[in-house]
């Protein structure tokens, strides 16, 4: 979570959005986690039966799905830092438009 907070802060004035989806925890644990981890970005609760996890064929947690401004999936993975360079490049390209 600290890296996600850094990513949001770094891109607060950029064309960037982070959306979190929780699919495994009970709702009370999810809500407590929002406070505990200082989540400042959009976060949604899906519970055990998640249509989003099914749609993106999530096999493990956490799963990161990077989607570009056209809605195209750029990458899917489990390493939160793996896309930092790609995100920076995409943001720069959007800002240049």
pLDDT of 82 reads 93
pLDDT of 24 reads 81
pLDDT of 71 reads 93
By residue range, what is the domain housing residue 40?
2-92
pLDDT of 43 reads 94
pLDDT of 86 reads 94
For the chain, what is the domain count? 1
Residue 12 forms part of a structural domain: yes
Residue 26 forms part of a structural domain: yes
Residue ranges in the chain whose pLDDT is less than 70: none
CATH code (residue 37): 3.40.30.10
Tokens 């959007």 locate to 94
Query: Using CA of residue 37, residue 41, residue 46, residue 51, what is the dihedral sign?
Result: negative
Distance CA 34, CA 1 (A): 10
């Amino acid at each position: 979570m600290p890296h996600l907070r850094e990513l949001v802060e770094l891109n607060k004035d950029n064309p960037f959005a982070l959306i979190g989806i929780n699919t495994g925890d009970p709702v009370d644990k999810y809500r407590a986690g929002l406070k505990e981890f200082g989540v400042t970005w959009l976060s949604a609760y899906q519970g055990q039966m998640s249509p989003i996890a099914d749609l993106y064929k999530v096999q493990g947690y956490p799963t990161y799905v990077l989607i570009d401004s056209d809605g195209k999936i750029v990458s899917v993975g489990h390493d939160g830092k793996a896309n930092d360079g790609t995100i920076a490049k995409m943001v720069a390209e959007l800002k240049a438009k």
